[in-house]
Amino acid sequence: MRRGKILVTGADGFIGSHLAEALVRSGHDVRAFVLYNSFNSRGWLDSSPKEIVSEMEIFAGDIRDPYGVKHAMKGCDVVLHLAALIAIPYSYHSPDTYVDTNVKGTLNVVQAARELEVAKVVHTSTSEVYGTAQYVPIDERHPLQGQSPYSASKIGADQIAMSFYSSFRTPVSIVRPFNTYGPRQSARAVIPTIITQLNRQFKSIKLGSLHPTRDFNYVDDTVDGFIQVMNAEQSVGEVINIGSNYEISIGETAALIAELMGQELEIVADEERMRPEKSEVERLWADNAKAKQLLGWEPKYAGIDGLRRGLRATIDWFSAEDNMRLYRPEVYNI
């Protein structure tokens, strides 16, 4: 497969910024698609090393605009499509925007890829499309369940992407990351929520449900999964889980973070942070055998030891005051 310029949509986001940086460090020619705004903000790329960002071509636009998307993709051989709305609570509030951004935005990408004859599109899914596990570990054959407007929109986006492979042979691969964490993650996610509240020495921290389990994946492993999928010709037409194959509850994760930070932990159940009962995903645990077999990918931060190392690196980043200033732990981020 030819490997010229690579477009990364959502390059201003948490995973996207790490991915764009890694590609530049590997010598790739990167065009970073960031959300247009009047502040000329490039999101998390504004916090990236200047010598790395200077090597990127920045394109400001909106994934919902088919003309802008097609313009951004011109001259690109590969598209790594990460642009999406991802906050589950906000999807209860404004579900229409999730359809426009996640479903129609993905349609814009694969339609342009078909017309421009792009060599490969790597589309980003999420473990949330599985809903509560019907069996564990969860492999790629697990039924899809839209338990929130967010997960429903991502199911729709996945199906749109794969329909272009089936209908037009557009070279699409789907990466399905489980719960990625690490430096720069939004406080809408549970690990930054815990760390930022503990960093501010709150006497008690506010969380939602503590019993659901998750498969946490350090961002470096997720980025490596994207790159492996991009490079593997055999990934075309495939959906591939990227997860650590380790299950831990939210409550146990909070206790582990407090231990690593050397702090006492008192948790207050905050009703505002609870998902509706039937919307809560009770259990996620990744089967990553397909990624190992097809790509040779394995998590470097696997198991409890890997989780400890990943959390340590994440805590260190959040503990820098310049980084903590970017967060508001006293408010609930939807």
Give me the pLDDT at residue 207, please. Answer: 94
pLDDT score for 3: 63
Residues pairing with 6 in the sheet: 30, 78
Please state the φ and ψ torsions of residue 34, each to the nearest 5 degrees.
-120, 155
The residue ranges of DSSP E strands in the chain, in sequence order, are 5-9, 29-35, 57-61, 76-81, 120-124, 172-177, 179-181, 205-207, 213-214, 216-218, 239-242, 248-249, 267-269
pLDDT of residue 333: 84
Crossing angle of helices 149-168 and 105-116, rounded to 10°: 20
pLDDT at 334: 84
Catalogue all structural domains in the chain, each as residue range(s) with its CATH number: 5-180+218-242 (3.40.50.720), 181-214+246-285+302-324 (3.90.25.10)
Question: Which H/E stretch holds residue 251?
Answer: helix 250-261
Report pLDDT for 1: 46
Q: Beta-carbon neighbour count of residue 276 at 10 Å?
A: 9
Classify burial at 168, counting beta carbons within 10 Å of its beta carbon; exposed 0-12, middle 13-18, buried 19 or more. Answer: middle
> What is the model's pLDDT at position 46?
97
- Supply the DSSP string of 79-127, one letter for each residue: EEE------HHHHHH-HHHHIIIIIIHHHHHHHHHHHHT-SEEEEE--G
Strand 76-81 to 57-61 pairing: unpaired
**pLDDT averages per 10-residue partition of the chain, 334 residues:** 83 98 97 97 97 98 98 98 97 97 98 98 98 98 98 98 98 98 95 96 92 98 98 98 98 97 93 93 98 98 98 97 94 87
Which residues, including other chains, have CB under 8 Å from residue 5's CB and lie 6 or more apart? 29, 30, 31, 57, 75, 76, 77, 78
Give which of 158, 173, 284, 149 is closest to 226, Cα–Cα: 173
| Structural contact between residues 16 and 6, judged by C-beta atoms closer than 8 angstroms | no
Distance CA 26, CA 68 (A): 27
